[in-house]
Amino acid sequence: MYFDFHVHSAFSEGESSLREIAAQAKILGYHGICFAEYFKDKETMEKLKQELEQVEKEVKIKMFLGFEARNANELKRLVKLRRKYDVLLVRGGDLSINRLGVETPEVDILTHPELGRKDPGLNHVLVKEAAKNNVAIEINFRSIMLSTKSTRALVIKHMMENVKLCKKYKAPIITCSGAISHWQLRDPKVLISTAVMLGLELKQAKETVSSVPQKIIEQIKERSSGKWIMPGVKEL
């Protein structure tokens, strides 16, 4: 079972509708996708939830609602509303937000920590925190796909360093397309092959698109069961 947990639709910075993305994901062989949108207000969130449910029934693919926090204030607001949506992503790139992302147990994924940086954006301290708080570090395929020449070489180098640290400290790694259009969605085998090229074993690379997202889905189910209070605390 393959999942892509970082896709933007027209609700945030994306170009394609939920329906177009869901249909393309099904063609490519995904079992589920998570839309990572930017948080506006509760009303938009409810509207988005309803549309997701409708498209899920039509296209018959599992769909999850996620929000990507772009700064500390947004993250604070989203942590407060944690029960109301499925996946919490943090848009990495800035050192302070990278640190905040890996230190917050409510966060599921830290996206592209190396974005726009001259260093990998993570060190051993941050990766240990990510492993402790079970925050998955993302390999973003769009960062590789849309960059060229020396920029692409730099992005790949930083990703390799992050992968090396994650392997050493056993922090979860997730590979996502990071697509902003349904034409940027990629076959899961492409994402697996990219993870292999970045230094993971084939088995580990497969886990980044299957078992790591499945663990996040288990957490979603646990959270929505009503017994969940906060990370690590639940009613018996």
Partner 1 sequence: MRLRVLPPTLREKRRYIFFKVIAEAPVEYSDLEAAVWNTMLDFLGEYGVSKTSVWLMKERWDIKEQTCIIKCNHLSVPAVIASLGLITRLGDTRVAIKILKVSGTIRGCTGR
Do residues 115 and 92 touch, judged by C-beta distance below 8 A? yes
Residue 76 Cβ, how far from partner 1 at the closest point, in Å?
36
d(CA 186, CA 183) in angstroms, rounded, equals 8
Does 143 contact partner 1 by CB under 8 A? no
Residue 60 Cβ, how far from partner 1 at the closest point, in Å?
18
Does 193 contact partner 1 by CB under 8 A? yes
Does 7 contact partner 1 by CB under 8 A? no
Q: Considering only residues 98, 140, 175, 184, which one is a binding residue for partner 1 as defined by CB under 8 A? A: 184
Q: Which long-range contacts does 190-196 make (Cβ < 8 Å, 24+ apart)?
A: 190/141, 191/4, 191/139, 191/141, 194/139, 194/141, 194/144, 195/139, 195/163
Judging by DSSP bridges, how do beta strands 228-230 and 233-234 pair with one another?
antiparallel
Judging by DSSP bridges, how do beta strands 62-69 and 233-234 pair with one another?
unpaired
Does 197 contact partner 1 by CB under 8 A? yes
Which amino acid type is present at position 126? L
Does 196 contact partner 1 by CB under 8 A? yes
* Helices marked H in the chain: 18-28, 42-59, 72-80, 95-103, 124-133, 141-146, 149-169, 188-197, 202-207, 211-224
Whichever of 72 and 190 has its CB closer to partner 1, that residue is 190
Q: Considering only residues 124, 189, 221, 227, which one is a binding residue for partner 1 as defined by CB under 8 A? A: 189
Could you tell me which residues come within 8 angstroms of residue 97 by beta carbon, excluding any fewer than 6 positions away? 69, 70, 71, 72, 75, 90, 91
Does 141 contact partner 1 by CB under 8 A? yes
Whichever of 79 and 196 has its CB closer to partner 1, that residue is 196
Tell me which residue has tokens 């937000």: 97
Q: Considering only residues 131, 191, 216, 217, which one is a binding residue for partner 1 as defined by CB under 8 A? A: 191
d(CA 184, CA 200) in angstroms, rounded, equals 23
Whichever of 197 and 229 has its CB closer to partner 1, that residue is 197
Whichever of 97 and 195 has its CB closer to partner 1, that residue is 195
**Which residues, numbered 59-88, are part of the site for partner 1 (CB under 8 A)?**
none
Q: Considering only residues 41, 57, 73, 148, which one is a binding residue for partner 1 as defined by CB under 8 A? A: 148
**Which residues, numbered 15-34, are part of the site for partner 1 (CB under 8 A)?**
24, 27-29
Task: Report the interface residues with partner 1, using CB under 8 A.
Answer: 24, 27-29, 141, 144-145, 148-149, 152, 181, 183-187, 189-194, 196-197, 202
